[in-house]
Amino acid sequence: MAQANIIGNGKGMQAGDRDESSGAPTQNDSGHDPSGHDQPVDGKPTPRRRRRSARSRGLRFDRMVTEQGVDPLDEVLLEKRTSVITNPDGSVVFKMEGAEIPAEWSQLATDIVVSKYFRKAGLYGDKEQSETSVRQIVYRIAHTIREAGERFGGYFASTEDADTFEAELSYFLVHQYGAFNSPVWFNCGLWHEYDIKGAGGNFAWNPTAKADGPNEIFEIDNAYERPQCSACFIQSVDDDLMSIYDLVKSEARLFKYGSGTGTNFSAIRGRQEKLSGGGTSSGLMSFLEVFDRAAGATKSGGTTRRAAKMVCLDMDHPEIEDFINWKVLEEKKAKALIAAGYPSDFNGEAYHTVSGQNSNNSLRIKDDFLQAATLSSGGATPPSPTSSAAEPSDVWHTRARTTGEVVETHSASNLWSQIAQAAWECADPGMQYDTTINQWHTCPNTDRIRASNPCSEFMFLDNSACNLASLNLTKFIVESPEDDEKTSRAPVMNVELYQHASRVFTSAMEILIDLSSYPTPAIAKTSHDYRPVGLGYANLGTLLMRMGLSYNSDEGRAVAGSLTAIMCASAYETSAQIAS
């Protein structure tokens, strides 16, 4: 079996370390090439780490993939390409000829960046002028982030370090070592580089205001001056009509700029409950249909992708059974329409007619429900809702949002069977294990985690946002230095370059937090205070295959665990350095 190897000394980018003897930058340490370079990486020399002075404020960045005085974007081989996006029937949705694309990029990457991320109009006030080159989009992102870091202060120890950061980030982006989440590509730099102004209404952090003061968070009048750069949002909603429609509005604002959002709707009373004026509530499901229609009508970032949305619901909500089977029933309606002759594709009339097609649905399940669901009632009489008996029971009560009283009594195992059947029929609802999630809470003394973003990789407080980026693992593969009859020439990972990239992207996302704007003051405040960022990796399966390792193997899991630990430590270290 091929061995999975990792090279590098594991020290990473120790930008905050100091020469304890003098506090001055270390020069020409013994054992190193006096030119200041170590082993080559991708044909480029790997520089030794510069250490910052004890008195310097901000991070030092070293060049590992670029050279001083050389713009990495000038070194990229670009070629003219055509991108065409079509509907299932062959009709053209989008076409662009003559786009400048790096020669190493695939046609799929070309279609994505041209159709989704190129700004199509409005450059420098000209409604006919659009972006035509990957060079333009990478520059507007990297340069805008660099300038924001300098403007906020404390991110770069010197102008040289800012230059290095921008060059290294540009190289990583244009050569596909890493990528930000979509809203960065959509929005970042449009005002700063092209003078494109967006509508107001979002909220941002004020760097000149007193912390926690009345003006710390303010409403902006230009959405692109403080662009929406986070992809993942979690929002809250109250059992109040105006709160419900405020959420519709803030969701629309998120979708407009290419982001996705999740909400736990358990606070909204069920159809079995009374209104304060004496009538009966229309119920949660009626409002979920409103949100579903609004999401379906919105195309994120002005592209062909629909809005991204997550709906979460606690297992004790009065309408839990309706929620579990919502998509099952709608699928049956769609199948009936298809059988009657309507088109069967997802964008056709059949699915457009039914509800529930524009969100991921998830159940928030605590351990007490799981314990109840694994028991069989055995025909025993369910205990009364007021029973204080502590014996395990298959009984599950739903409770009123307004009073906490029991509304309905179910068999937990029967609900469990309905969940399994629904997931089998239409892949929803998913399950979020609420007890475990809150046991792993990174800020447990704040509030409970109640929901997630649409893809569920971000689970945090209500009214929060997360900026994401991903590193392409296959770009960090180098050939093994070992080459003899006894050892196969297996690919290995360059850990120092991987750590360096983790550090560059973590720093960039930290800057983006305060450069960005958000749909509500609460999200802007939470983002500034807690600073959630999500750094991950892509192409793990490809990496393991190239290493000759099975995905489901101890060796494969060891590689994945090691890469995750290295990335996590590098990101934590960088965040600590920025905080200090």
Domain with residue 410: its CATH number is: 3.20.70.20
In a domain, 119, yes or no: no
pTM of the complete model: 0.84
Q: Which of 433, 452, 471 is the last residue of a domain?
A: 452
Q: Please say if 457 is a catalytic residue.
A: yes
Do residue 433 and residue 563 come from a single domain?
A: no
* CA pair distance 169, 63, nearest whole angstrom: 10
* CA pair distance 160, 241, nearest whole angstrom: 54
Q: Does residue 324 contact residue 363 with C-beta atoms inside 8 Å?
A: yes
pLDDT of residue 374: 87
Do residue 187 and residue 335 come from a single domain?
A: no
pLDDT of residue 482: 55
CB atoms within 10 A of CB 49: 20
Catalytic residue, from 457, 479, 482, 568: name it.
Answer: 457
> How remote is the C-alpha of 552 from its chain's centroid?
26
DSSP letter for 492, please.
E
What is the per-residue pLDDT across 75-95, written as a single tens digit (0 to 9) for each? 999 999 999 988 777 889 889
More confident residue, 225 or 387: 225
* CA pair distance 551, 511, nearest whole angstrom: 35
- Kindly report the average pLDDT of the chain as a whole number: 86
**Nearest CA-CA partner of 257 in 319, 193, 191, 342:** 191
Do residue 186 and residue 217 come from a single domain?
A: yes
Q: Please say if the pLDDT value at position 386 is more than 70.
A: no
Do residue 404 and residue 308 come from a single domain?
A: yes
In a domain, 528, yes or no: yes
**In total, how many domains does the chain have?**
2
Catalytic residue, from 264, 453, 472, 494: name it.
Answer: 453
In a domain, 50, yes or no: yes
In a domain, 40, yes or no: yes
143 torsion bin: left (phi>0), alpha (psi -120 to 50), beta (else): alpha
In a domain, 483, yes or no: yes
* CA pair distance 514, 229, nearest whole angstrom: 10
Q: Which of 452, 477, 503 is the last residue of a domain?
A: 452
Domain span including residue 349? 237-380+391-452
Do residue 356 and residue 319 come from a single domain?
A: yes
Do residue 278 and residue 339 come from a single domain?
A: yes
Q: Please say if the pLDDT value at position 35 is more than 90.
A: no
pLDDT of residue 554: 96
Q: Please say if 455 is a catalytic residue.
A: yes
In a domain, 318, yes or no: yes
Do residue 204 and residue 314 come from a single domain?
A: no
Q: Does residue 280 contact residue 274 with C-beta atoms inside 8 Å?
A: yes
More confident residue, 107 or 28: 107
In a domain, 386, yes or no: no
What is the per-residue pLDDT across 448-493, written as a single tens digit (0 to 9) for each? 999 999 999 999 999 999 999 999 999 999 876 555 555 556 778 8
In a domain, 122, yes or no: no
Do residue 64 and residue 149 come from a single domain?
A: yes
What is the per-residue pLDDT across 134-160, written as a single tens digit (0 to 9) for each? 999 999 999 999 999 999 999 999 999
Percent of the chain with pLDDT over 70: 84
Q: Please say if the pLDDT value at position 391 is more than 90.
A: no
Which helix H or strand E contains 161, and what residues bound it?
A: helix 159-174
Do residue 363 and residue 508 come from a single domain?
A: no
| pLDDT-wise least confident of 20-29, 224-233, 378-387, 504-513 | 20-29
Q: Which of 426, 452, 478 is the last residue of a domain?
A: 452
Confidence tier at 305 by pLDDT (50, 70, 90): low
Q: Which residues, other chains included, contact 200 with Cβ-Cβ below 8 Å and sequence gap of 6+?
A: 219, 220, 221, 222, 223
Do residue 440 and residue 498 come from a single domain?
A: no
pLDDT of residue 300: 57
| pLDDT-wise least confident of 44-53, 296-305, 442-451 | 44-53
Q: Tokens 């279609």 belong to which residue?
A: 111
CA trace torsion 430, 434, 436, 440 (10° rounding): 110
Catalytic residue, from 100, 206, 225, 455: name it.
Answer: 455
194 to each of 120, 136, 144, 164, 224, how far by Cα in Å? 12, 10, 11, 24, 10
Do residue 145 and residue 58 come from a single domain?
A: yes
What is the per-residue pLDDT across 168-219, written as a single tens digit (0 to 9) for each? 999 999 999 999 999 999 999 999 999 999 999 999 999 999 988 999 999 9
Which helix H or strand E contains 361, and what residues bound it?
A: strand 360-365
Do residue 509 and residue 572 come from a single domain?
A: yes
